[in-house]
Structure 1
């Protein structure tokens, strides 16, 4: 359960930031000039204009101010008219040359994959994700966990405490900037079961029995297969500083990331209850990215791995040049990629908090063709930045309280509760706790033959039933899809993405 939830950005005065304050104050200058000249008609006109400017600047609509909506709409229109919002892969255009070169749309275009040195007993070469645009490095692990569906209250409390420990451990070395926890839930394609039936039905069995069993298996998809991933994002500035002590240059960065992965893996297999943590290699990560864009390709990959055991000439790996989509289109309220389209929504976290496992119902697909994904991102503040933000929030709250007392305005319960939360946050920071402002992104993916708006409505209904308020990420569906479904460390909290 999370408590003491506060907004990541606190305004300087009455919740207004410096830019908003400057606009509001500058817009009031004509009023004062007209008052000094005693031009009362102009005072009335400029007052109406000032009120309109305040509404457009201050009042939020769907998570953005009116000005923000106009800027976003203009940028989206320009991108649509110029064709920037449409992606066509090199393979579709017949220009594919090197299978190792990544060919990704949008925010994934600057991504590079670097293979780390062999590590561990199995000498696995961990795939390192380098984002040249954001100047970050990331690593991704596949997690095996029993989940929270059958856990009691004491076990859920232990998981919540372990999640706090995970964030604290990641923040101790001041290396990790973000932690992404992603769960993708897809109706089971029964690929493994079908292979088992084909291999274990005896030759003496009638051919109709084998065909009937396999056909019934395909029509009886009642289960849901879940995949859990954890991605750690480290900025280049912090990584380069630490890499000087562990070999320097690329080798030092790889050694530092391996050290961070070992620390995080220990927490995951401990109190978090993960039964296995496997840091993905480059071929494994490419397959995960491919199934993120095209959920239906998983069965083909499973059959290829089975055929490889019989014939080693069968190719099982997905080349990075083909791991992405061949064609994508970003609409206002959904994202189209190959033969699929996706709607992505964020959640408004409740002030009263929530319990561990509350998002479990959101992951349940409504039909066999649908995939649901939930990603929880924990941006970690550095201790100095956290102390500064806590002091700013305390100053703003105290100033507002003093103004209300001078004006004789009654202090409401909500204001008093917010003051108590800020005091508790300051106390916890003084004791060495970590400041993080998590956010959640959920998505639904269906084939293009399905009505995407209907499945988006079902996703919103599932979010409301779980006790949260949904908010569609309009005009940002491409970046939101990547954050919710592709474990490559792309974040919405980084400036310039939303």
Structure 2
């Protein structure tokens, strides 16, 4: 097996008995009480009826369908229906309703509503102020960096192995200080809009050139989009409980939190520019982050921002920044299987990791847009467990596996290859944790964004096909498309696994 192939992943949670959690065990046990009462009274007809009812309850509680149990689907469907009837799934900005008063106030839909953006202290020779993302609902803080990297498309086997090792080092460095809770690695790929090239042509073609030649070159440039432009963002999420404890030693209150976040950014910066091989790492300022959020909702707005920056060099009155009040969408609607935002709509899916494992760079095939109007995005989230929590989960998984194996041995049931392989995985996880490794259960969210004039269901089918061709199984995030879109496209540290967001 090549060094760039990873297949030793385990499930993030394991049940107490036969893979069942405490709530599921309680439901199954309580639902069986009528059977035992009927048996004690020798009412055999009632025993048969209650057995059938118990079987239905077990199926609804235990059997997963598309990532959720039947009970989970019913709860999600009821919540979605209530949100739709109450118009909670429809967002209209203050600017659309004529209620905009301050350009500095954030106006975001759904899970982004509790977000607040603060500016850190000036750092470095250029005195950049890093934007700090405060989420009051999830009680987290986050910082985002823009990364320039050559990618893995042209890398050979040794270089891929080095990237894989560097990614592990990044997670270990983030976990070493027990501050970072999650790492979000986001890549957005769009067909090149050629905005910079068009500006260069307009500035460097001489006045003596025929006007028809200039117009023809620019028109051919717009129609000849063959390249794909990518944007890469890295977001670190730190919970308030950990940050407040450390901030006491670095100034206390808000200043201490800002100093702590700056220290964390410096530590991670060293790994990004070193082992990972990033050519440039820039922790985004508030205007830069606002532009990244705006182009996340409306990919075509990047051209106007590039042109405004070019005109600003000649005319200082031209505005180049995106106000936070206008960085979000004007109008959004959440459907069951897609998300509509302004003149665009998006389908988001997650991946099921294959048992045979996955190789470094396998997700690159998912990023290629199928048409010039399409944008593809991928976000890999690395939730980092505390060492004590990781040891407890590993011990629980070992206990559950040993208990299940003991019951199978007593009943004379043959141990399958999959069970033995899971046992080997758990043993290897315990060994690595004993050696000081970090426990993380990464997940991937992929999305496709197209204009509303394009058939979104067709592009969703193409996204699923690209995921399968890369060696994964897609799973559409039904009734969670709004939060899934934010996780896949907006670098503000929103997670699908953190409680209290949905």
TM-score category of the 2 structures, normalised to the smaller one: over 0.9
CA distance in 1, matches of 2:217, 2:422: 60
Name the residue aligned to 2:408: 404
Indicate the residue corresponding to 1:460 in structure 2: 464
Per the alignment, residue 184 of structure 2 pairs with 180
Deviation (angstroms), 1:123: 1.0
* 1:202 aligned partner: 206
Paired residue for 1:34?
38
2:282 equivalent to 1:242: no
One of 364, 373, 376 as aligned partner of 2:377: 373
Give the TM-score normalised by structure 1.
Answer: 1.00
Q: Please report how far the alpha carbon of residue 122 of structure 1 lies from its aligned counterpart in structure 2 after TM superposition.
A: 1.5
d(CA) in 1 for partners of 2:268, 2:155: 23
Partner of 2:278: 274
Aligned residue for 2:60? 56
Residues 1:171 and 2:185 aligned together: no
1:486 maps to 490
Q: What secondary structure, in the 3-state scheme, does the structure 2 residue paired with 1:310 have?
A: coil
Which of the residues 261, 265, 271 maps onto 2:265?
261
The C-alpha deviation readout for 1:104-129, integer Å capped at 9, x for no partner, is: 00000000000000011211000000
- CA distance in structure 2 between the partners assigned to 1:256 and 1:121 by the alignment: 19
Unaligned runs of 5+ in 1: none
Secondary structure, counterpart of 1:143 in structure 2: strand
The answer on 1:432 being equivalent to 2:436 is: yes
Report how many aligned residue pairs link the two structures. 498
1:38-71 Cα distance to aligned partner (Å, 9 max, x none) = 0000000000000000000000000000000000
SS of residue in 2 equivalent to 1:295: coil
Distance in 2 (CA, whole Å) between partners of 1:113 and 1:496 is 20
In the alignment, what sits opposite 1:124?
128
Q: Structure 2: where are the runs of 5+ without partners?
A: none
Distance 2:93 2:131 in 1: 23
CA distance in 2, matches of 1:315, 1:2: 48
Deviation at 1:351, TM superposition (A): 2.4
Cα distance in 2 for partners of 1:3, 1:428 equals: 15
**1:158 aligns with one of 157, 162, 183:** 162
- Separation in 2 of the partners of 1:224 and 1:36? 71
CA distance in 2, matches of 1:350, 1:128: 36
Indicate whether 1:384 and 2:388 are aligned.
yes
Give structure 1 regions of 4+ aligned residues with deviation exceeding 3 angstroms: none
2: distance between equivalents of 1:287 and 1:346? 26
Select 1:303's aligned residue among 302, 307, 319.
307
Match of 1:348 among 336, 348, 352: 352
Deviations 1:362-400 (A, max 9, x none): 000000000000000000000000000000000000000
Indicate if the aligned counterparts of 2:233 and 2:491 stay in contact, CA closer than 8 A. yes
1:349 CA drift (Å): 1.1
- In the TM superposition, residue 312 of structure 1 has moved relative to its aligned partner by 0.5
Residue in 1 aligned with 2:319?
A: 315
1:497 CA displacement: 3.7
Question: What is the aligned counterpart of 1:44 among 48, 61, 65?
Answer: 48
Q: For 1:405-439, what per-residue CA distance to the aligned partner results, in whole angstroms no more than 9, with x for missing partners?
A: 00000001110110011001000000000000000
Q: Matched residues in 1 for 2:207 and 2:82: separation? A: 63
Provide the C-alpha distance between the structure 1 equivalents of 2:356 and 2:212, rounded to a whole number of angstroms.
Answer: 58
Cα offset for 1:495? 1.8
Q: In the alignment, does 2:108 pair up with 1:104?
A: yes
Aligned partners of 2:137 and 2:501 also within 8 Å: no
